[in-house]
Amino acid sequence: MADIRALYADEDGNILDAPKGFKALARTGTDIIELSPDDLIPLPESADLMFLPDRLPLAKYGDEIMPIMGNAVAAILPAGYTRLYMPAFKKEDDAQMLPLYGYTAVVVYKDELYVAAMYTDENDKWDPAHYNTRNLHKLVKRVQKDLPDNRLVEHLGNCSLTWHCCTAQNLFYRRWEAGIPSSPVCNANCFGCISLQPAECCPSPQSRIKFRPTPKEIAQIGIYHLETAPDAIISFGQGCEGEPSLAVDNIVPAIEKIRKKTDKGQININTNAGYTEGIKRIVDAGLDSMRVSIISAIPENYKAYYRGSYELDNVKESIRYAHEHGVHISLNMLYFPGFNDSESEFKAWKEFLHENPVDMIQIRNLNIDPDAFAEIMPPFTKAIGTKEFIRQLHEEFPDIVIGNFSHYQKGE
């Protein structure tokens, strides 16, 4: 059997194979494990490689685990792939917190680069080849001309061209799912928030919206997109905003305006679902689908990450209300190997899903520094492994779709 060898990056950022005999290791939770061929797939074509400053890669030589001089290396997976394990490294004392990415173990196997991951969903709409095309600037200007004096159009144009947000770009491409950010405030203080971080943390990968769009601005974009785009979805709750249900007083009249004008397409909300009264009003206004961000089915574990002004019970109540009113419900499960798939979490997930029916679970690799996450969460318990976690979910809940993407639902 071919060796699974470790990688490291030199001072210039060149990624190199470890010397022969240094076997690759990986991490789940806080445990260091040895990889097997069953854990590996070839490095996806659109994946990125990144070295981790001030972190020495760990490898096994003979029976001894030891650090290798150089920097640890990680893969950043494209959407549609779920990581099984993270890189194994030894952090130096003065190491800075890592940026918000989903770090995946990457190794040399059969003289090629492989990652510890599995392919979990296919949706060509999110292929990077469809985005950031040469004509995007021209398309942004077209919509700015079609919808003049709309602050949201200007904001989304910046999100498209500066932050390369795919759901923002879809508005200008006139297709698929387009985001409509609506809330500059939030009722949670997520440790891994991608739009707002305290100064002592890592930089946010994008900036949060600074104004409150009016019902007219929201409805204008919603009608424009739903009437022109194939498989059209408009989504509240983007990476550049807080919690959209807090903008309920603007979203509800906007939905009413949209549905007076057109019955086309799908209206979606991406939400933490903690503000139940707001969710109920948005559901009653005509919501079609709801994707709920969630990391744990155990209240204290949930609270440790979200640090919100609400409880997990509020989330459950929102899910039940939406389900009872015919809304298609997905869980956006923020996934960290060794945490979500722990025996205690899996037991809690089974109870949660039996009590709170959902249509889909979207597994999302949690973008976080692994050590920083471990520091804020309760101690990890024994894990059953990501593949086994997904297999048992399929077995226990055969009617729940498990994947990575939102799918168009209207008219199906």
pLDDT (tens digit per residue) in 37-61: 999 999 998 899 999 999 999 999 9
Q: Tell whether 12 is covered by a domain.
A: yes
Does one domain contain both 115 and 128? Answer: no
Does one domain contain both 12 and 159? Answer: no
Q: Tell whether 231 is covered by a domain.
A: yes
Q: Tell whether 106 is covered by a domain.
A: yes
Q: How confident is the model at residue 201 (pLDDT cuts 50, 70, 90)?
A: very low
> What pLDDT, on a 0 to 100 scale, did the predictor assign at position 11?
86
Q: How confident is the model at residue 13 (pLDDT cuts 50, 70, 90)?
A: confident
Does one domain contain both 79 and 193? Answer: no
**312-324 and 276-286 are packed helices; what angle lies between their axes, rounded to 10 degrees?**
10
Does one domain contain both 53 and 83? Answer: yes
Does one domain contain both 23 and 51? Answer: yes
pLDDT (tens digit per residue) in 68-108: 999 999 999 998 999 999 999 999 999 999 999 999 999 99
Alpha-carbon distances of 158 from 123, 131, 228, rounded to whole Å: 25, 15, 22
> What pLDDT, on a 0 to 100 scale, did the predictor assign at position 124?
82
Q: Tell whether 233 is covered by a domain.
A: yes
Q: How many CA atoms lie within 13 A of 22 on its CB side?
A: 17
Last residue of a domain, one of 64, 84, 119: 119
Q: Tell whether 408 is covered by a domain.
A: no
- Res. 202: pLDDT tops 50: no
Does one domain contain both 65 and 195? Answer: no
Residue 93 CB: number of other CB atoms within 10 A?
A: 5
Last residue of a domain, one of 52, 86, 119: 119
Does one domain contain both 83 and 175? Answer: no
pLDDT (tens digit per residue) in 317-375: 999 999 999 999 999 999 999 999 999 999 999 999 999 999 999 999 999 999 999 99
> What pLDDT, on a 0 to 100 scale, did the predictor assign at position 121?
85
pTM assigned to the model: 0.92
Last residue of a domain, one of 119, 143, 166: 119
Does one domain contain both 42 and 178? Answer: no
Does one domain contain both 103 and 216? Answer: no
3-state SS of 65-130 is: EEECCCEEEEEECCCCEEECCEECEEECCCCCCCCCCCEEEEEEECCEEEEEEEECCCCHHHCHHH
> What pLDDT, on a 0 to 100 scale, did the predictor assign at position 196?
53
pLDDT (tens digit per residue) in 109-143: 999 999 999 999 887 888 888 999 999 999 999 99
- Res. 219: pLDDT tops 60: yes
Alpha-carbon distances of 390 from 29, 141, 340, 341, rounded to whole Å: 17, 44, 10, 9
Count the domains in the chain: 2
Domain extent for 77 = 4-119
Does one domain contain both 263 and 319? Answer: yes
Q: Tell whether 64 is covered by a domain.
A: yes
Does one domain contain both 190 and 277? Answer: yes
Q: Tell whether 412 is covered by a domain.
A: no
Contact 113, 14 (CB under 8 A): no
Q: Tell whether 196 is covered by a domain.
A: yes
CATH number for the domain spanning 148: value is: 3.20.20.70
Does one domain contain both 222 and 312? Answer: yes
Alpha-carbon distances of 261 from 180, 203, 226, 377, rounded to whole Å: 18, 41, 10, 47
**And the tokens for 360?**
């889909």
